[in-house]
Chain A
Amino acid sequence: MATDTLAAPGTTPAGPPRRRSGGGIRSNENLAGWLFVAPVIVILGLFLLLPILMALWVSLTDWNGQGSPFTGDVPFVGGDNYAQLFTDDGLARRDFMTAIRNNIYYVGIVVPVQTALALGLALVVNNRLLKGKGFFRSAFYFPSVTSSVAISVVFLFLFANSGAVNRLLALFGLDGPEWFADGRGVLHLLFGALGMNEPPAALTSGGPLGLTWWDWLSGPSVAMTSIICLVIWTTSGTFMLMYLAALQNVPVALDEASTLDGASRWQRFRYVTLPLIKPTTFLVVTLGLIGSWQVFDQVYVMSQGDPAKTTLTPAYLSYRTAFRDFDYGSGAAISFVLFLIIILLTLFQRWLMADRDGTRRGRWWRRRVPEGS
């Protein structure tokens, strides 16, 4: 998912210095240059930029999928589709806010856990004293390269009612839930365990944006938890590789010097290693944030938003609204809100990554663009 954004700007050296020379063998470069980039421009323009503009238009209409959305017959509704998501009380807003809530909990667990796991695995694999590290590095990374659909099929089996996970839990005397039928929120279960069997009336009577406070405080559902496990399992390996690359750049001498100064293992990690790999942590966290707002394949295969809409995410909701309910306008509007969320996170990431380079000239958002021309 995140691979499209892996190559962050501000991390590469600028191109070779350009020499000025007019005419001669350089004279046909203008034409050749455009010919060389033409196929990519046509494909990306036709299937990426143009569609975005078309969808922006559709998000302002009530197109139902019949005929062309670009004729006069399609009702133009202005910002109504967006208003339904944010201000008008109704099913559309409730579903959208539920999807946002689900995704917030999803991000809130996936990002910290996969970051910590990636760092932990990298530290172990980077240990100079252990043998067979190459094998384990591959093992941890392998799930990242497999098909999301194929791996979702495996996890459906693992988390089945009498599946491997529940068998494993039974070995420890635990009674596993019916993972994909269980829409109860984990926080609600926790409140229940603490003796709060009935939600307090103050929380159920109202709340922001069409959901009650109690709904907002549900936590991820049990079903969502299994998707969270799957995603952490598949993405940690990629981020481990990034940490590994960073750890290999930590000078050994620094570690040994701090050992001589009497620093403990934890102190060395906390005050020497961790500050040195901070840029990678920024990268891993922000790539994680960007990627985890895009969760789609797993939801499509494993739960289709069920049970009780607790695995609905904005990405899946936009798909379902358009292609199942044939409400393309509303679906496109959800896409654009999601687009905005992800773009803001991406800009934040690029700003953060450029900031760490500090001394380089030029504005951060065009740092990679060679000067001149």
Chain B
Amino acid sequence: MAVLTDRPAPVARRGDRGVRARVNRVLGYAVLIFFGLVFLYPFVIQLGNSLKTEPDAAANPLSPFPDPLTLAGFDRIFSGTNFPLWLGNSLLVTVLVTLGRVFFDSLAGYALARLRFRGRAGLFAAVIAVMAVPGVVLLIPKFLVLKQIGLYDSYAGLIVPLLADAAGVFIMKQFFESIPVSVEEAARIDGAGVFRTFWSVVLPMARPALITLTILSFQGSWNEFPHSLVSVQDPDLFTLPRGLADLVSGSLGKGTQYPLKLGAALLATIPVAVLFVIFQRYFVRGANEGADKG
């Protein structure tokens, strides 16, 4: 990238520059640490307070150190709420939605990138258009259609509408276009059918895109809230975000019970946090998808 590889000769006196560089570096670290605290300390407070007694959490909300340390909040999460049920529902929804999205989005992305069929250009334009439809305006519409076709208040209603997404199709199409055509043409000439070529030749080469899509889908469906709000009302079908929202809106009865709520929110955050730590660069790729291509 750099055309000039040699550093330019210092313009100012050397000592002066040294001091300024050091001051700049200290300032840089100060800014980093300040914002590091701003962005991470809320999670520290969350963890600390989830391990406190209720009076302790109310009296010392800023302190990350529980005094005394207690697991009472977590006990009550599992004994006094439907948390295990929500967890199970969330796992089921997330796994099925992720599998569905990865499979269906890859199929469609491959067709749009490689297969020549009538109406392809129009379909792709439609995919782009659909990406622009904001989720929040679909609340009432989704409810209407689920009611109409009898999927309201069922696992199917919770899962099926999320099984494909336009952004995923787009990501996969972009990736498939970057794979050399020659490989699959060789397979085709050898007599492999379209699906076979896709499944055993092209898909294994798409690993990075598949991981990105898996992670985006997992994170998206694990955190999904508005859809569960309009697709189910039976508490037995609540997912974690829905259950959490229900806890906050006062289904707990007396007291603020912050240790319990913070603990439940913490447990709901952990799976995505673990994924984030392991697969961080794929998260980054997902965030920049489309933003820095050119």
Contacts and interface: CB of A to CB of B under 8 A. Distances in A.
Q: Please say whether chains A and B are actual partners in one complex.
A: yes
A157 B11 CA distance: 53
B171 A153 contact: no
Interface in A136-183: 136, 138-158, 160, 162-164, 167-168
Contacts of A238: 287
Contacts of B145: 46-47, 50-51, 54
A248 to B, nearest CB: 9
Most buried by A among B24, B193, B226: B226
A193 interface: no
Contacts of A187: none
Interface residues of B, number: 127
Contacts of B154: none
Contacts of A140: 35-36, 39
Contacts of A252: 1-2, 4
Contact of B128 (A9, A36, A52): A9
Contacts of A147: 222-223, 225, 240-241, 244, 265, 268-269, 272
A315 interface: yes
Q: Specify which of A51, A121, A338 lies most central, judged by the most chain B CB atoms within 10 Å of its CB.
A: A51
**Dominant secondary structure at the A interface:** helix
A11 B144 contact: no
Contacts of A18: 116
B49 interface: yes
Contacts of B256: 160
A12 interface: yes
Contacts of A191: none
Interface in B31-52: 31-32, 35-36, 38-40, 42-43, 45-46, 49
Interface stretch (B66-74, B105-113, B203-211): B105-113
Contacts of A69: 144
A145 B115 contact: no
A231 interface: no
B281 to A, nearest CB: 10
B252 interface: no
Contact of B166 (A44, A141, A249): A44
A300 interface: yes
A124 B32 CA distance: 7
Interface stretch (A78-86, A208-216, A220-228, A289-297): A289-297
Nearest to A63: B144
A43 B294 contact: no
B241 to A, nearest CB: 4
Nearest to B107: A36
B160 A47 contact: yes
A32 B128 contact: no
Given A68-B148, A140-B35, A335-B141, A7 B290 contact: yes
A297 B287 contact: no
Nearest to A367: B128
A129 interface: yes
B284 A256 contact: no
A32 B222 CA distance: 32
Contact of B139 (A13, A335, A372): A335
A39 B104 contact: yes
B291 interface: yes
Name the residue in A7, A11, A41 with the highest tally of chain B Cβ atoms < 10 Å from its Cβ: A7
Contacts of B19: none
Interface in B123-168: 123-125, 127-128, 130-145, 147-149, 160-161, 163-167
A200 interface: no
A150 B141 CA distance: 26
Contacts of A48: 130, 133, 138
Which residue, of A5, A44, A357, A369, has the highest number of chain B Cβ atoms within 10 A? A44
A260 B283 contact: no
A373 B121 CA distance: 7
Nearest to A41: B123
A301 interface: yes
Contacts of A58: 140, 144
A43 B104 contact: yes
Contacts of B164: 39-40, 43-44
A60 interface: no
B194 A162 contact: no
B289 A7 contact: yes
Interface string A239-257: 0011001100101110011
Given A132-B32, A167-B61, A315-B136, A259 B108 contact: no
Interface string A255-297: 0110110100000000000000000100100000010011011
Given A153-B262, A242-B291, A142 B140 contact: no
A167 B181 contact: no
A168 to B, nearest CB: 7
B188 A33 contact: no
B58 interface: yes
Contacts of B269: 146-147, 150-151
A237 interface: yes
Contacts of B49: 157
Contacts of B107: 36-37, 39-40
Contacts of B195: 32
A363 to B, nearest CB: 11
Contact of B45 (A68, A164, A257, A319): A164
A49 B166 CA distance: 12
Contacts of B291: 6-8, 11, 242, 245, 280, 283
Nearest to B111: A36
12 contacts: A36-B198, A37-B112, A39-B104, A130-B25, A141-B283, A142-B43, A160-B256, A167-B61, A237-B39, A241-B288, A318-B136, A342-B137
Given A7-B171, A18-B116, 17 more contacts: A1-B135, A25-B188, A25-B189, A30-B118, A31-B117, A32-B111, A36-B108, A36-B194, A58-B140, A147-B240, A149-B244, A153-B262, A158-B42, A237-B39, A315-B137, A323-B143, A357-B294
| Closest 6 pairs (CB-CB, A-B) | A33-B117, A7-B290, A51-B141, A36-B111, A47-B161, A245-B292
